[in-house]
Amino acid sequence: MSVSPAIAPEAFEKLRTLLDDRFSTNATVLEQHGRDEGHLPMAPPDAVVFPNSTEEVQKVAAICHEHRVPMIPFGVGTSLEGQVIATQGGVSIDLSGMNKILQVNFEDLDARIESGVTRRQLNDYLRDQGLFFPVDPGADATLGGMASTRASGTNAVRYGTMRDNVLGLTVVMADGRLLRTGGRARKSAAGYDLTALFIGSEGTLGIITELNVRLYGREEAISSAVCPFDTLKGAVDTVIETIQMGIPIARIELLDEVQMDAVNRFSNLDYPLRPTLFLEFHGSPMGVKEQAETVGDISRDHGGGDFRWTAQEEDRRALWRARHDVAYACKALRPGGELWATDVCVPISQLADCIVQTRRDIDAANLIAPIVGHVGDGNFHVAMILDTSDEEEMKRAYEFNERLVDRALKMGGTCTGEHGIGIGKREKLVAEHRDAVPVMQAIKQALDPDNLMNPGKLFLDS
Amino acid sequence: MSVSPAIAPEAFEKLRTLLDDRFSTNATVLEQHGRDEGHLPMAPPDAVVFPNSTEEVQKVAAICHEHRVPMIPFGVGTSLEGQVIATQGGVSIDLSGMNKILQVNFEDLDARIESGVTRRQLNDYLRDQGLFFPVDPGADATLGGMASTRASGTNAVRYGTMRDNVLGLTVVMADGRLLRTGGRARKSAAGYDLTALFIGSEGTLGIITELNVRLYGREEAISSAVCPFDTLKGAVDTVIETIQMGIPIARIELLDEVQMDAVNRFSNLDYPLRPTLFLEFHGSPMGVKEQAETVGDISRDHGGGDFRWTAQEEDRRALWRARHDVAYACKALRPGGELWATDVCVPISQLADCIVQTRRDIDAANLIAPIVGHVGDGNFHVAMILDTSDEEEMKRAYEFNERLVDRALKMGGTCTGEHGIGIGKREKLVAEHRDAVPVMQAIKQALDPDNLMNPGKLFLDS
């Protein structure tokens, strides 16, 4: 990591002239833009800009490009691997003000939105029209941030991740050029899939300013259930069998007993302190009933208790809000503790072994770390709550995380299912994709030759 | 297009030494590798090689790279826009001998296969295990070819295209380097999505030698039906309403009356000569029944006749074989005629207008051209059967194709839903993605700086 180059005074002046009070060097604002919700140390940018339009982003990029100033796209700062931390200084480009929903096409089930729209804002807007957007990471992230980290969430087992739900993008390149990728057709074989290239590129190739996203009609019937299990393995085996049978379950989430304790305390609930599945079924009334019966049979075979059902919309929302709030629930387990939420994803045949070994490892390492996961995809998180001032504890956490990733890679999995690489997993990207990293870097070099876009992220020597 | 550089004699000798009788300069073999199933003129390579392993492909690439010889990856030659035609000479790399199914993981519903495996070979192999791979272009193409053109087919409305069903790739780069992309996890946020970049790159970035693909369990119940309509618009509106209601239909294909005539003649069937939908429902027995009833109601509202049902596997396979054979059925409409199958894809709200205007345009242009389409995705084909020696007719066909693509682009669609760009649609790629083509070319330049991989394809000035 190079030392932060102070922003060139001319660039400073040009940005202030362009944006007036939407250019800031206020220390509090800089600090707010120098951290995310992960465990990595804060590093402030030299300035923050708040553009209102794609055209303004183009002008900002052109100024930064001319003066070789690093640019860090910023949504609402909910990344977990340091993606928005300004380790090399530069200008943080805060897109949260670009939050217009530009167009909703009911007939085509798609929408065009600015990248600062958050997932809750979008779904609140769509609710009355009987539509929804399914990708739902824990935080109320912006859609631009979600695209940049290839975010996922509880619905991915049925509806896919950001990779599957973005039809096209508007991107401002490092030199201020405009790029439009994809389109509104549901499929296309026209040239390289630049949409997919930008999704998951973590701001290192350009600044996403608009998205075309897929929408879904709200299902006729939705039913959610909570089911406790005697053992972690029984819960995981239920998931595996459900997926293998091809049941189109909408959500199937595992919370271990430590996580259930955190959720009960934080959300004032009274679930049993056992490994528990949160499930949701979508479809026709008959289809939902049929799916629920089949999964009920499977879970009983694996030591599952009775399903506690929730069919009213308000109750369902409370249930999933509790699930989404696990990160905050975890933090509340240890007041003053800092969250380090790591994630891995493995082939589902390896999932039970991976989770059971990981639970044993956490206990042996004497860490406070609930396990929660989108287990239908083979993806799970370990939410370590740490005293960051305790060096010995931090060392144990670091070593545990190394072992977790190595375990997942040995099992044919990936070092991150949905949180991304950022700063925190750059070595692990090399471990997973040794041949591929040079190819990724050749693409980075081709599209951003001066390494101005979010430098220091994804690649060790950037 | 530059004049073909004769293959360097040293390269010639090195390849022959490496491969012995799996290196060929036989005129018939060269001609077979200089054409595809589309309408563009044949141009033979200077030599054809038949490697048996990824390692051999690496050695072939290293030799070609050293001597600056163009390389054209070749599967079974079923592309439609000239993707395998050797317009700049060079070596055609025939991968059809690399057809081993390396591993099938029943628990994880995935498989690792060599890129010369064809879709029928794979599904024949999987049938006894109760599994299937859904992507099914008309021809019995290789999976490597299907990945390279981002192929799709009748099942895409439910199961997605190659983009959605490939988890990872093994690729030999232009200089012989090996690249592994993706992996076996169902999702990953680890770095740039190189898998998606290679899918649809039409052999211009490297040579795909192995794929990890997703598999699906065969559904408990499958039922197919054929339903004639009074009008083309009635059939299309039935599709639109079915998709908008979120019915998880597995296949919904439109054949216009001209196409039905061709299918009846070629496959010896007796369907009414009317715009017709071929449909298929997958799911539980109850779910299939429910879906079929709902779609039956929708079709009656739009002038649909009775559903002719086919539930026996053998009959269903015959029905879909007839659907898959439309290209050959079209050719049989006019013995000696050449097929020019073009495809576009539009937002579904525009589909009825686009197809009705296109039918009118075909008739006004006095062309023999059935319409058939994967209309659930907004994708349809026009299969022109032409006398290629009639210059005036070819001019009418060319102008019709221009108008068809322009119409689709004006409607927010794409110049190709699944056939790709190849040689035939390079100008249309620029029309559709003016800002994006330079970015695509920068990536091409970064990964294949000597422009050895399938030169002359995708980009006008390559």
Q: Is 70 exceeded by the pLDDT of residue A5?
A: no
The one-letter amino acid at B426: R
The rounded distance, in Å, linking the Cα atoms of B183 and B211 is 10
Tokens of A292: 């629920």
**Residues on chain A touching B440 (C-beta within 8 angstroms):** 191-192, 194
The rounded distance, in Å, linking the Cα atoms of B92 and B70 is 8
Provide the pairing of β-strand A91-94 with A71-74: parallel
Report whether A105 contacts A183 (CB < 8 A): no
Q: Of the candidates A377, A412, A437, which has its C-beta nearest B184's C-beta?
A: A412
Closest CA to B323 of B233, B384, B253, B272: B253
The rounded distance, in Å, linking the Cα atoms of B437 and B459 is 8
**Could you report the per-residue pLDDT of B421-458, keeping only the tens digit for each?**
999 999 999 999 999 999 999 999 999 999 999 999 99
Return the higher-pLDDT residue of B221 and B100.
Answer: B100
Residue A359 to residues A276, A352, A362, A424, B332, Cα–Cα distance (Å) = 15, 11, 5, 22, 65
Judged by CB atoms closer than 8 Å, whether chains meet at B347 and A110 is answered as yes
- Chain B closest-CA separation from residue A217 CA (Å): 6
DSSP code per residue over A364-426: HTT----EEEEGGGTEEEEEEEE-TT-HHHHHHHHHHHHHHHHHHHHTT-BS-SSS--TTTTH
Q: Is 70 exceeded by the pLDDT of residue B2?
A: no
pLDDT reported for residue B188: 97
- Chain A closest-CA separation from residue B323 CA (Å): 21
Reported ipTM: the value is: 0.96
Report whether B170 contacts B208 (CB < 8 A): yes
B253, B255, B259, B263 alpha-carbon torsion, rounded to 10°: 50
Judged by CB atoms closer than 8 Å, whether chains meet at A107 and B244 is answered as yes
Percent of chain B scored above 70 by pLDDT? Answer: 98
**Could you report the per-residue pLDDT of A60-103, keeping only the tens digit for each?**
999 999 999 999 999 999 999 999 999 999 999 999 999 999 99
Alpha helices in B187-255 (DSSP H): 194-198, 232-244
pLDDT reported for residue A6: 59
Hey, where are the domains in chain B? 9-94, 101-217, 221-323, 328-425, 426-451
**Residues on chain B touching A413 (C-beta within 8 angstroms):** 183-185
Residues 6+ apart with CB under 8 A from B98: B51, B52, B53, B54, B57, B114, B115, B116, B209
Judged by CB atoms closer than 8 Å, whether chains meet at B150 and A185 is answered as no
Judged by CB atoms closer than 8 Å, whether chains meet at B433 and A191 is answered as yes
**Could you report the per-residue pLDDT of A157-192, keeping only the tens digit for each?**
999 999 999 999 999 999 999 999 999 999 999 999
**Could you report the per-residue pLDDT of A341-358, keeping only the tens digit for each?**
999 999 999 999 999 999
The rounded distance, in Å, linking the Cα atoms of B296 and B245 is 13
Judged by CB atoms closer than 8 Å, whether chains meet at A107 and B432 is answered as no
Q: Give, as one character, the DSSP assignment of residue B414.
A: B
Q: Is 70 exceeded by the pLDDT of residue A4?
A: no
pLDDT reported for residue B438: 98
Question: Which of the four pLDDT bands, split at 50, 70 and 90, describes residue A114?
Answer: very high
**Residues on chain A touching B244 (C-beta within 8 angstroms):** 107, 109, 217
**Residues on chain A touching B186 (C-beta within 8 angstroms):** 345, 347-348, 377-379
Q: Which residue of B has its CA nearest to A157?
A: B186
Mean pLDDT, chain B, integer: 94
Judged by CB atoms closer than 8 Å, whether chains meet at B348 and A446 is answered as no
Judged by CB atoms closer than 8 Å, whether chains meet at A186 and B345 is answered as yes
pLDDT (mean) for B130-143: 95
pLDDT reported for residue A1: 36
The rounded distance, in Å, linking the Cα atoms of A174 and A84 is 16
Residue written as tokens 């991989």? B453
Closest CA to B234 of B242, B225, B244: B242
The rounded distance, in Å, linking the Cα atoms of A280 and B448 is 47
Would you say domain B9-94 falls under CATH 3.30.43.10? yes
- Chain A closest-CA separation from residue B414 CA (Å): 6
**Residues on chain A touching B348 (C-beta within 8 angstroms):** 107-108, 186
**Could you report the per-residue pLDDT of A406-435, keeping only the tens digit for each?**
999 999 999 999 999 999 999 999 999 999
To probe the interface with B, which of A220, A426, A439 has the most B CB atoms within 10 Å?
A: A439
On the question of a common fold for B221-323 and B328-425, the answer reads yes
**What CATH number matches the domain at A221-327, 1.10.150.390, 3.20.20.70, 3.30.70.2190, 3.40.50.2300?**
3.30.70.2190
Q: Give, as one character, the DSSP assignment of residue A4.
A: P
- Chain B closest-CA separation from residue A4 CA (Å): 24
Neighbour count for residue B200 (Cβ, 10 Å): 27
pLDDT reported for residue B6: 59
A414, A419, A424, A426 alpha-carbon torsion, rounded to 10°: 50
Judged by CB atoms closer than 8 Å, whether chains meet at A194 and B417 is answered as no
Report whether A277 contacts A254 (CB < 8 A): yes
Q: Of the candidates B149, B197, B348, which has its C-beta nearest A193's C-beta?
A: B197
pLDDT (mean) for B359-381: 95
The rounded distance, in Å, linking the Cα atoms of B288 and B268 is 29
The rounded distance, in Å, linking the Cα atoms of B225 and B277 is 8
The rounded distance, in Å, linking the Cα atoms of B281 and B223 is 5
- Chain B closest-CA separation from residue A354 CA (Å): 13
Q: Of the candidates A188, A379, A414, which has its C-beta nearest B190's C-beta?
A: A414
Residues 6+ apart with CB under 8 A from B458: A191, B201, B202, B204, B421, B422, B426, B429, B440, B444
Judged by CB atoms closer than 8 Å, whether chains meet at B191 and A156 is answered as no
Q: Of the candidates B193, B244, B439, which has its C-beta nearest A109's C-beta?
A: B244
pLDDT (mean) for B219-234: 92
Report whether B230 contacts B176 (CB < 8 A): no
CATH of domain A328-421: 3.30.70.2740
Q: Is 90 exceeded by the pLDDT of residue A390?
A: yes
Q: Of the candidates B181, B190, B439, which has its C-beta nearest A421's C-beta?
A: B190
CATH architecture of B101-217: 2-Layer Sandwich (3.30)
Tokens of A342: 């790591």
Would you say domain B328-425 falls under CATH 3.30.70.2740? yes
DSSP bridge pairs for B207: B172
**Residues on chain A touching B191 (C-beta within 8 angstroms):** 200, 421, 429, 433, 436-437, 440, 458
Q: Is 50 exceeded by the pLDDT of residue A3?
A: no
Percent of chain A scored above 90 by pLDDT? Answer: 85
Q: Is 90 exceeded by the pLDDT of residue B116?
A: yes
**Residues on chain B touching A447 (C-beta within 8 angstroms):** 439, 442-443
- Chain B closest-CA separation from residue A35 CA (Å): 20
Of B5-9, B117-121, B373-377, which gets the smallest average pLDDT?
A: B5-9
Q: Is 90 exceeded by the pLDDT of residue B327?
A: no
**Could you report the per-residue pLDDT of B175-195, keeping only the tens digit for each?**
999 999 999 999 999 999 999
The rounded distance, in Å, linking the Cα atoms of B186 and B325 is 33
**Residues on chain B touching A419 (C-beta within 8 angstroms):** 189
Judged by CB atoms closer than 8 Å, whether chains meet at A436 and B217 is answered as no
Tokens of B207: 């040579």
Residue A64 to residues A176, A422, A450, Cα–Cα distance (Å) = 9, 22, 11
Q: Is 60 exceeded by the pLDDT of residue A225?
A: yes
Rg of chain B's alpha carbons, rounded to an integer? 22
Reduced to 3 states, what is the DSSP secondary structure of residue A226? Answer: strand
pLDDT reported for residue B246: 86
**Could you report the per-residue pLDDT of B384-417, keeping only the tens digit for each?**
999 999 999 999 999 999 999 999 999 999 999 9
The rounded distance, in Å, linking the Cα atoms of B132 and B218 is 6
DSSP bridge pairs for A280: A224, A251
Residues 6+ apart with CB under 8 A from B43: B4, B34, B85, B86, B87, B89
The rounded distance, in Å, linking the Cα atoms of A255 and A59 is 46
**Residues on chain A touching B349 (C-beta within 8 angstroms):** 105, 107-108
Question: Which of the four pLDDT bands, split at 50, 70 and 90, describes residue B3?
Answer: very low
Question: Which of the four pLDDT bands, split at 50, 70 and 90, describes residue A246?
Answer: confident
Question: Which of the four pLDDT bands, split at 50, 70 and 90, describes residue B244?
Answer: confident
pLDDT reported for residue B245: 87
The rounded distance, in Å, linking the Cα atoms of A87 and A72 is 10
To probe the interface with B, which of A169, A186, A342 has the most B CB atoms within 10 Å?
A: A186
The rounded distance, in Å, linking the Cα atoms of A29 and A45 is 9
- Chain B closest-CA separation from residue A51 CA (Å): 22
Q: Of the candidates B185, B186, B443, which has its C-beta nearest A443's C-beta?
A: B443
Tokens of B362: 């075909």
Of A169-183, B94-108, B311-325, B372-386, which gets the smallest average pLDDT?
A: B311-325
CA atoms within 13 A on the CB side of B83: 31
Reduced to 3 states, what is the DSSP secondary structure of residue B20? Answer: helix
pLDDT (mean) for A225-235: 94
Residues 6+ apart with CB under 8 A from A13: none
Closest CA to A149 of A85, A200, A73: A200
**Residues on chain B touching A415 (C-beta within 8 angstroms):** 190
pLDDT reported for residue B321: 85
Q: Give, as one character, the DSSP assignment of residue B453.
A: B
pLDDT reported for residue B308: 87
Report whether B381 contacts B342 (CB < 8 A): yes
How large is the greatest C-alpha to C-alpha distance in chain A, in angstroms? 69
Neighbour count for residue A457 (Cβ, 10 Å): 26
- Chain B closest-CA separation from residue A335 CA (Å): 30
To probe the interface with A, which of B105, B172, B186, B377 has the most A CB atoms within 10 Å?
A: B186
Mean pLDDT, chain A, integer: 94
**What CATH number matches the domain at B221-323, 3.40.640.10, 3.30.70.2190, 3.30.1330.10, 3.40.50.970?**
3.30.70.2190
Provide the pairing of β-strand B276-283 with B371-374: unpaired
Closest CA to A259 of A380, A346, A414, A397: A380
